[in-house]
Amino acid sequence: MEDNYQRRFNAPKSKKQRIGRKIPRVLKKSEIDALMSVIDKPRDRCALKLMTDCGFRLSEVVYLRIEDIDLSERQILVKQSKGNKDRLVPIPRSSELLVLIPTVRNRRKEGYFLHKSSNKGEKPFSTRAIQRQVMVYSKLAGLEGVHAHTLRHSYASYCAENNVPLEVIRDNLGHSNLATTSIYLHTQTASRREKMDYVQF
């Protein structure tokens, strides 16, 4: 008679269990630099930099408000994002965002950071508009198949490559658990290959 473990082992797997989690596509640092080199508008650079330098989701870029940006502390408060959670995201000291944000914000004290004006007042850009910017600029830079989420993936992968603790990456991305974040360890094939070159077999 099979015990409980054996029955569980032999039980048919659900579709979700069979598929597993795919390794995301990420851009190299040189590819991100190439992407940014074709963007002249500070507003557009800022939108993409929030994804590459802070790991923002597309919706988080769109709904970011001026009053949630604290340049003196180099951090941004992301409110009620996925899972209805708030989180503080640091702006890296080396990020161009520290220069771009004051330029784009101008003298405005509140409201949507990236906005468009209409007869009905101030409105945020649509996610479709930002996604279109990503696709247009990536093609200009000679990069294929780049989407907004690719930039967020690249941020996480670049952090992992530079030995940022997984717990820090998890918190910056707003993940609920470490297992979701650990997928970015598998994107570092070149880094892992270099480390393995020091092992004598």
Question: So what's the pLDDT on residue 187?
Answer: 60
Q: Which helix (H) or strand (E) holds 69?
A: strand 69-70
Dihedral sign computed on CA atoms, order 152, 163, 188, 141: positive
The yes-or-no verdict on residue 198 having pLDDT over 70 is no
Give one word for 5, left, alpha or beta, with left for phi > 0 and alpha for psi -120 to 50.
alpha
Separation of alpha carbons 25 and 132, rounded Å? 18
The pLDDT tens digits for 51-100 are 999 999 999 999 999 999 999 999 999 997 777 789 999 999 999 999 99
pLDDT for the residue numbered 118: 64
Q: For the domain with range 24-189, which CATH number is right: 3.40.50.1980, 1.20.210.10, 3.30.70.870, 1.10.443.10? A: 1.10.443.10
Supply the residues annotated as catalytic: 57, 82, 149, 152, 175, 184
pLDDT digits (tens, 9 = 90+) for 127-180: 999 999 999 999 999 999 999 999 999 999 888 888 888 889 899 998 877 777
In eight-state DSSP terms, residue 3 is -
